[in-house]
Amino acid sequence: MIEYNIMNHHSRDVSKMELKIKELKRNVIINTDYSDYYKTRNKNRYKGINQNFFGIMKRETKAKWKVVFHDDIAIYEKLFTNIEHILKKAPNVFIINFYNPTNKRIKEAIKNKKHVIQHYNQFWGQCTAYNVEYLKDMTTWVDENTLIGEGAEDLKVEQYCAYSNLPMYTIVPSLAQHEGYKESTFGNPAEVVGIKRNSATYLPDFDATLVNWNAHFKTCLKDNTKVNGGLGLL
């Protein structure tokens, strides 16, 4: 069972996303952040986005996986059928990420015909599945070891994975893509820390049923780089 969520900022209208998801006969929970973190450089500016994200992570569910979409992700039928097939075939890991930006690691995976990357850092959570079995330990660690206002949620997830020696996995090609930059909360951001947010590997026609996921998880491309320290750690 999968629980679908949209992590929304109040400045964005997600009604079209919600409607498309309902048309595809899936239920979705809208989770809205009412802060204006993107307008300030205050050191506690991430409090709202973190409360929103970790609120999703802490909320009880009967699902095995919580899938979280950011509020600027393109919604289409194969996105769901591919996610559901991969999660059905995947091992019992913590995180499976269905979005990837354009970076060297992704290019290496393509060159070596790898559909799965195992890693700890450079986590981009725009379209990600979280295994509910791991969430209590993760949220407890974040509460006890980080400042909720400093550092965004993706960094805190990286810090937890590094501390716990618990890798995450990214799927190649990217199943998700940003749309509507002009409406973006951040004001049309083409890049973040020098990496393009649009995925060069985005392939909406990708058919996950044609891949032997058991074999690809076992022979995945591995990046053992870990975040050491970082913003918001106590």
Q: What is the CATH number of the domain that holds 87?
A: 3.90.550.10
Count of all residues that appear for the chain in the document: 234
**The pair of three-digit structure tokens given for residue 126, joined into one six-digit string:** 């725009």
Contacts of 8 (CB under 8 A, 6+ apart): 14, 30, 31, 32, 33, 52, 71
* Per-residue confidence (pLDDT) for residue 101, from 0 to 100: 81
For residue 94, being part of any structural domain is answered with: yes
For residue 67, being part of any structural domain is answered with: yes
Check residues 215 and 107 and name the one with the higher pLDDT.
215
pLDDT at 184 over 50: no
For residue 227, being part of any structural domain is answered with: no
pTM of this structure: 0.93
Question: From CA 15, how far away is CA 178, in angstroms rounded?
Answer: 16
For residue 33, being part of any structural domain is answered with: yes
* Per-residue confidence (pLDDT) for residue 49, from 0 to 100: 95
At 154, is the secondary structure helix, strand, or coil?
A: helix
* Per-residue confidence (pLDDT) for residue 55, from 0 to 100: 98
* Per-residue confidence (pLDDT) for residue 183, from 0 to 100: 44
* Per-residue confidence (pLDDT) for residue 124, from 0 to 100: 87
Question: From CA 189, how far away is CA 201, in angstroms rounded?
Answer: 18
For residue 6, being part of any structural domain is answered with: yes
pLDDT at 199 over 60: yes
Check if the beta carbon of residue 170 is closer than 8 Å to that of residue 120.
no
**The pair of three-digit structure tokens given for residue 177, joined into one six-digit string:** 């893509």
Question: From CA 215, how far away is CA 134, in angstroms rounded?
Answer: 23
Look at 18-32, 53-67, 196-210 and tell me which has the smallest mean pLDDT.
196-210
Confidence of residue 200 (pLDDT cuts 50, 70, 90): confident
For residue 170, being part of any structural domain is answered with: yes
For residue 63, being part of any structural domain is answered with: yes
pLDDT at 3 over 50: yes
* Per-residue confidence (pLDDT) for residue 187, from 0 to 100: 46
| Domains contained in the chain, number | 1
Look at 15-29, 34-48, 178-192 and tell me which has the smallest mean pLDDT.
178-192
For residue 186, being part of any structural domain is answered with: yes
Give the range of the structural domain holding residue 196, as residue numbers without chain letter: 2-222
Question: From CA 225, how far away is CA 63, in angstroms rounded?
Answer: 31
Check if the beta carbon of residue 221 is closer than 8 Å to that of residue 109.
yes
Angle (nearest 5°) at CA 165 between 163 and 90? 130
Average pLDDT over residues 39-67: 94
Question: From CA 19, how far away is CA 24, in angstroms rounded?
Answer: 9
pLDDT at 20 over 50: yes
At 3, is the secondary structure helix, strand, or coil?
A: strand
